[in-house]
Chains A and B, each alone.
Chain A
Amino acid sequence: MTMRVVAVVVSKDQPLYLQNALDALSKQSFRLDRVLVVDSSTLEEIKPVLDNFVSQSSKHAVLSILDKASFAELSALAIRQVLEGFENLDDVAIWLLHDDTVPEIHALAELVRALEVSPLVAIASPKQVAIENPKLIVQQGLSLTKTLKPFSLVNDELDQKQHDYMSDVLAVSSNAMLIRANSWIELGGYSLTAPELATDIDLGIRTHQLGSRVVVVPTARVRHAELSLQGKRAKNWLGGSVKFALAKATNHLRLSHAPIFLAFLYWLGLPVISIAQVFWLLLVKRPDRILFTLRANLWAFFTIRARLRDRHSISIKPLRVLFANSAQVRSRSRLALETAEQKSNLENFDERTPTRGSITQVGFIASGGLWIMLGLAFLSYQFFPLGQAAIGGFALPLSDSWLQLFAHTGASFQHVGLGLAAASDPFNWVLLTIGSITFWSPNLALSALLLLAKPLSFMGAWRLLSTVTVRNSIKIPLALAYTAWPALTISQSQGNYPAVVFAMTLPWLLFSLARAGRLGLSSSVRSDQQNASWMAAAGLLVAVSLASAPSALFPLLVIGLVFAYLGRTRIKALVFIALPAAVITLPYYFDQIFTNKAPLGIFADPTISHPTKALAVMEAVLSSDKFFGWFALALVVLGVIAVASRVRAVFGIWLLALLVLGNIWFINSIAFPAGGVGSIFLEPTEQVFDSSTPSVMLFVVLAISAIALWLESLTRAGVRKLLVSAILLAAAMPLAVASAMTASQVKFVDSRNLPAIFSAEAAAGSQLRLLVLSSNGDQSFTAEEISPQGIKLDGISTAYRLNEKNLEPEANIKASITELVANMVSANGKSISQKLQARQYGYVLVPNRPGNGDLGVALNSVAELDQVGTTEFGQLWRVKKPFISNRYVEQSLFSITKTIQLAVLVGFVLLALPTARGRKNRTRAENSFETEGEQES
Chain B
Amino acid sequence: MILRISRMIFIAICAAALLLAGAPASLFSAGVVNSKVHEVSARDLQVTCSGPAILAGGATGTSVTGFKRLGSASISLTYSAASATSLKLFDGNYVAGYGVRQDLFKGLSNTGSLTVVDKTGTTAQGSALLAANQIQLADNKNIKGLLAAPCIRAQSEFWLVGGSTMTGRESLLILNNPTQVDATVDLEIFTENGSSHSSGLSGIAVAAKKTTVIPLASFVLRSQSTVVHATSRGGSITALIQQKSVRGTRASGADYVAPAPLANTFNVLPGILVRGSKDAGKFRKTSDQYSDVQHLLRVFVPGSLDANLTLQVLGSDKQTFGTVLSVKAAAGKVTDFEIKGLKDGDYFAYLDSDVAVQSSIRLVRARASNDRYVDFAWVNSAEAFQTPRYIAVPKAGISKLSIVNPSNKATTVSIKIGAATVKRTIAAGSDAVIRATPGMSIGIIPSDKAVYANLVIDVDGRVAVLPVLDDKNISGQVKVSIH
Q: How far is the CA of A815 from the CA of B233 in the complex (A)?
A: 29
> Shortest CB–CB separation between residue B331 and chain A, in angstroms?
17
> Which residue of A615, A641, A828 is within 8 Å of B24 (Cβ)?
A615
Whether B180 contacts A861 by the Cβ 8 Å rule is: yes
- Specify the chain B residue showing the minimal Cβ separation from A827: B43
A857 within 8 A of B: yes
> Shortest CB–CB separation between residue A66 and chain B, in angstroms?
67
If A779-B479, A823-B40, A828-B121 touch, whether A804 touches B34 (CB-CB below 8 Å) is: yes
> Which residue of B34, B233, B480 is within 8 Å of A821 (Cβ)?
B480
Interface residues as binary, A229-246 with B (CB distance below 8 Å gives 1, 0 otherwise): 000000000000000000
- Specify the chain A residue showing the minimal Cβ separation from B34: A804
Q: How far is the CA of A621 from the CA of B476 in the complex (A)?
A: 47
- Specify the chain A residue showing the minimal Cβ separation from B234: A860
Q: Chain A contacts of B430 at CB under 8 A?
A: none
> Which residue of A671, A780, A853 is within 8 Å of B35 (Cβ)?
A780
Q: How far is the CA of A829 from the CA of B474 in the complex (A)?
A: 12
Q: Chain A contacts of B30 at CB under 8 A?
A: 598, 600-601, 603-604, 670-673, 802
Q: How far is the CA of A615 from the CA of B25 in the complex (A)?
A: 10
Q: How far is the CA of A90 from the CA of B469 in the complex (A)?
A: 126
A59 within 8 A of B: no
Whether A618 contacts B38 by the Cβ 8 Å rule is: no
Whether A783 contacts B236 by the Cβ 8 Å rule is: no
Whether A825 contacts B22 by the Cβ 8 Å rule is: no
B477 within 8 A of A: yes
Q: How far is the CA of A608 from the CA of B168 in the complex (A)?
A: 55
Whether B24 contacts A616 by the Cβ 8 Å rule is: yes
A315 within 8 A of B: no
If A644-B7, A822-B478 touch, whether A661 touches B233 (CB-CB below 8 Å) is: no
> Which residue of B18, B31, B33, B481 is within 8 Å of A665 (Cβ)?
B18
Q: Chain A contacts of B11 at CB under 8 A?
A: 640, 643, 651, 654-655, 658
> Which residue of A658, A669, A779, A814 is within 8 Å of B478 (Cβ)?
A779
Whether B18 contacts A826 by the Cβ 8 Å rule is: no
Whether B43 contacts A826 by the Cβ 8 Å rule is: yes
Q: How far is the CA of A596 from the CA of B36 in the complex (A)?
A: 18
- Specify the chain A residue showing the minimal Cβ separation from B35: A780
Whether B22 contacts A617 by the Cβ 8 Å rule is: yes
A527 within 8 A of B: no
Whether B38 contacts A658 by the Cβ 8 Å rule is: no
Q: How far is the CA of A391 from the CA of B235 in the complex (A)?
A: 32
B23 within 8 A of A: yes
Q: How far is the CA of A673 from the CA of B35 in the complex (A)?
A: 12
Q: Chain A contacts of B89 at CB under 8 A?
A: none
Tell me the residues in window 835-865 of chain A with beta carbons closer than 8 Å to chain B beta carbons.
850, 853-854, 856-858, 860-861
Q: How far is the CA of A779 from the CA of B232 in the complex (A)?
A: 20
**Interface with B: A169-177, A208-216, A676-684, which one?**
A676-684
Q: Chain B contacts of A822 at CB under 8 A?
A: 38-40, 478, 480
A531 within 8 A of B: no
Whether A596 contacts B31 by the Cβ 8 Å rule is: yes
- Specify the chain A residue showing the minimal Cβ separation from B36: A818
Interface residues as binary, B157-176 with A (CB distance below 8 Å gives 1, 0 otherwise): 10000000000000000000
Tell me the residues in window 768-808 of chain A with beta carbons closer than 8 Å to chain B beta carbons.
776, 779-785, 802, 804-805
The count of residues in chain B whose C-beta lies closer than 8 Å to any C-beta of chain A is 58
Whether A651 contacts B24 by the Cβ 8 Å rule is: no
A614 within 8 A of B: yes
Of B7, B25, B29, B31, the most chain A CB neighbours within 10 A belong to: B31
A348 within 8 A of B: no
A305 within 8 A of B: no
If A643-B4, A779-B479, A860-B234 touch, whether A671 touches B29 (CB-CB below 8 Å) is: yes
> Shortest CB–CB separation between residue B477 and chain A, in angstroms?
7
Q: Chain A contacts of B29 at CB under 8 A?
A: 600, 670-671, 687
A927 within 8 A of B: no
Q: Chain A contacts of B231 at CB under 8 A?
A: 853
Interface residues as binary, A809-832 with B (CB distance below 8 Å gives 1, 0 otherwise): 000001101110111011111100
Q: Chain B contacts of A828 at CB under 8 A?
A: 40-43, 121, 475
A686 within 8 A of B: yes
If A417-B483, A826-B474, A857-B155 touch, whether A661 touches B18 (CB-CB below 8 Å) is: yes
Q: How far is the CA of A854 from the CA of B237 in the complex (A)?
A: 10
> Which residue of A646, A675, A858 is within 8 Å of B474 (Cβ)?
A858
Q: How far is the CA of A856 from the CA of B183 in the complex (A)?
A: 11
Whether A780 contacts B22 by the Cβ 8 Å rule is: no
Whether B41 contacts A651 by the Cβ 8 Å rule is: no
Q: Chain B contacts of A826 at CB under 8 A?
A: 40-43, 473-475, 478
Q: How far is the CA of A809 from the CA of B4 in the complex (A)?
A: 61
The count of residues in chain A whose C-beta lies closer than 8 Å to any C-beta of chain B is 81
B369 within 8 A of A: no
> Shortest CB–CB separation between residue B180 and chain A, in angstroms?
7
A645 within 8 A of B: yes
Tell me the residues in window 266-292 of chain B with beta carbons closer than 8 Å to chain A beta carbons.
none
- Specify the chain B residue showing the minimal Cβ separation from A654: B11
> Which residue of A804, A821, A830, A867 is within 8 Å of B33 (Cβ)?
A804
Q: How far is the CA of A826 from the CA of B473 in the complex (A)?
A: 7
- Specify the chain B residue showing the minimal Cβ separation from A664: B22
Whether B8 contacts A644 by the Cβ 8 Å rule is: yes
A418 within 8 A of B: yes
If A662-B18, A854-B155 touch, whether A783 touches B33 (CB-CB below 8 Å) is: no
B37 within 8 A of A: yes
> Which residue of A674, A780, A804, A823 is within 8 Å of B479 (Cβ)?
A780
Of B18, B33, B37, B181, the most chain A CB neighbours within 10 A belong to: B33
Whether B19 contacts A804 by the Cβ 8 Å rule is: no
> Shortest CB–CB separation between residue A685 and chain B, in angstroms?
11
Of A671, A822, A827, the most chain B CB neighbours within 10 A belong to: A822
Whether B480 contacts A658 by the Cβ 8 Å rule is: no
- Specify the chain A residue showing the minimal Cβ separation from B474: A826
A450 within 8 A of B: no
> Shortest CB–CB separation between residue A774 and chain B, in angstroms?
9
> Shortest CB–CB separation between residue A815 and chain B, in angstroms?
6
> Shortest CB–CB separation between residue A404 and chain B, in angstroms?
21
Interface residues as binary, B127-161 with A (CB distance below 8 Å gives 1, 0 otherwise): 00000000000000000000000000011110000
A219 within 8 A of B: no
A436 within 8 A of B: no
A147 within 8 A of B: no
B32 within 8 A of A: yes
A636 within 8 A of B: yes
- Specify the chain A residue showing the minimal Cβ separation from B31: A598
Of B15, B121, B236, B483, the most chain A CB neighbours within 10 A belong to: B483
> Shortest CB–CB separation between residue A817 and chain B, in angstroms?
5
A870 within 8 A of B: yes
B14 within 8 A of A: yes
- Specify the chain B residue showing the minimal Cβ separation from A662: B18
Whether B473 contacts A853 by the Cβ 8 Å rule is: no
> Shortest CB–CB separation between residue A373 and chain B, in angstroms?
31
B305 within 8 A of A: no
Q: Chain A contacts of B109 at CB under 8 A?
A: none
Q: How far is the CA of A717 from the CA of B404 in the complex (A)?
A: 75
Whether B155 contacts A670 by the Cβ 8 Å rule is: no
Q: How far is the CA of A658 from the CA of B483 in the complex (A)?
A: 38
> Shortest CB–CB separation between residue B358 and chain A, in angstroms?
13
> Shortest CB–CB separation between residue A395 and chain B, in angstroms?
19
A41 within 8 A of B: no
Complex A-B, nearest 10 residue pairs according to Cβ-Cβ distance, in ascending order: A617-B22, A853-B156, A614-B24, A822-B478, A818-B36, A822-B38, A600-B30, A857-B236, A668-B24, A784-B483
Q: Can you list 20 A-B contacts with CB-CB less than 8 angstroms, sorted by A residue number? A: A418-B482, A618-B20, A655-B11, A661-B15, A661-B22, A673-B30, A780-B481, A781-B478, A781-B481, A782-B480, A783-B480, A785-B482, A804-B34, A826-B42, A826-B475, A828-B121, A830-B40, A854-B236, A867-B234, A870-B233
Instruction: List 15 other contacts, CB 8 Å, given A802-B31, A861-B43.
Output: A598-B31, A600-B31, A617-B19, A643-B7, A643-B12, A670-B27, A675-B483, A686-B33, A776-B481, A779-B474, A805-B32, A822-B39, A853-B232, A854-B236, A870-B233
